[in-house]
Amino acid sequence: EAEVAQSPRYKITEKSQAVAFWCDPISGHATLYWYRQILGQGPELLVQFQDESVVDDSQLPKDRFSAERLKGVDSTLKIQPAELGDSAMYLCASSLARDRSGGYTFGSGTRLTVV
Amino acid sequence: KQEVTQIPAALSVPEGENLVLNCSFTDSAIYNLQWFRQDPGKGLTSLLLIQSSQREQTSGRLNASLDKSSGRSTLYIAASQPGDSATYLCAVFDYKLSFGAGTTVTVRA
């Protein structure tokens, strides 16, 4: 069964350092999403891509977060500098349908701990 | 802004009992609703996807209903097993996917 690949699975970084996460969606999925999930809460959307274009980044803290999907396939989410409050699970998801009828497939996530 | 609420926040039942998980959302103009399962420290696994035109979906012991006009969905899990212990998340899609905080289920052997 096709999967959304994410790496690394776990990351521990010191405050003020830079950190990056990678996501490879299911082949052919045009839409890619990055979510952040704080412990005990539901995931919240950070950024949505349609192919290589950003569709929604209204909840992305742009002073420290950046995301790219240069060739419309895999994607990288970066945080610089990391803050203690950034500790969370970062989830990537992809979707095939452009007509909003399809479901989402999520990766296993990257657990970030900022110390 | 879409608000998704899941009640109860936690649930503990003996093995074999049926589970009923509730989800409510504030804006009924949705395209679909999806139920996910999340094990501790893991990603999300899709359980059921209900289109806005549908009333329910079934997969094995799982059945989900959708009443779009009243902004409600219910996930039923029949004959619960210890392996069903997890957090169950409801998410609605209007122009983006919005999640509830989840219901954490413990099934006691």
- pLDDT surpassing 80 at residue A1: no
Strand order in the sheet with B19-25: B4-7, B19-25, B72-77, B62-67, B56-59
- pLDDT surpassing 90 at residue A96: no
Please judge whether A100 and B31 are an interchain contact, meaning their C-beta atoms are less than 8 angstroms apart: yes
Please judge whether A45 and B100 are an interchain contact, meaning their C-beta atoms are less than 8 angstroms apart: no
Per-residue model confidence (pLDDT) at position B9: 94
Q: pLDDT tens digits for B31-81?
A: 999 999 999 988 999 999 999 999 999 999 999 999 999 999 999 999 999
Q: How many residues does chain B have?
A: 109
Q: pLDDT tens digits for A42-76?
A: 999 999 999 999 999 999 999 999 999 988 899 99
- Provide DSSP, chain A: ----EEE-SEEEE-TT--EEEEEE--TT--EEEEEEE-TTS--EEEEEEETTEEEE-TTS-TTTEEEE-TTSS-EEEEESS--GGG-EEEEEEEE--SSS-S--EE---EEEEE-
Contacts of B97 in chain A (CB under 8 A): 33, 45, 93, 104
Please report which confidence band the pLDDT of residue B97 belongs to, taking 50, 70 and 90 as the band edges: confident
Report yes or no: A68 and A13 within 8 Å, Cβ to Cβ.
no
SS3 string, B60-105, reads CCEEEEEECCCCEEEEEECCCCHHHCEEEEEEEECCCEEECCCEEE
d(CA B45, CA B62): 14
Contacts of B91 in chain A (CB under 8 A): 42, 104
Contacts of B93 in chain A (CB under 8 A): 100
Among A95, A99, A88, CA closest to A35: A88
The residues in A 59-78 lying below 8 A from B, measured between CB atoms, are: none
Among residues of chain B, what percentage have pLDDT more than 90?
A: 91
* Shortest CA distance from A90: residue in chain B: B43
Comparing CB atoms, the residue among B31, B51, B100 nearest residue A42 is B100
What distance in Å separates residue A21's CA from the closest CA in chain B? 15
Whose tokens are 């997890």? That residue is: B86
Please judge whether B43 and A108 are an interchain contact, meaning their C-beta atoms are less than 8 angstroms apart: yes
Per-residue model confidence (pLDDT) at position A101: 64
Which whole-number Å values give the CA distances from B108 to A11, B60, B70, B80, B85, in the listed order?
A: 33, 21, 33, 9, 9
Per-residue model confidence (pLDDT) at position A2: 79
Please judge whether B41 and A111 are an interchain contact, meaning their C-beta atoms are less than 8 angstroms apart: yes
d(CA A92, CA A99): 20
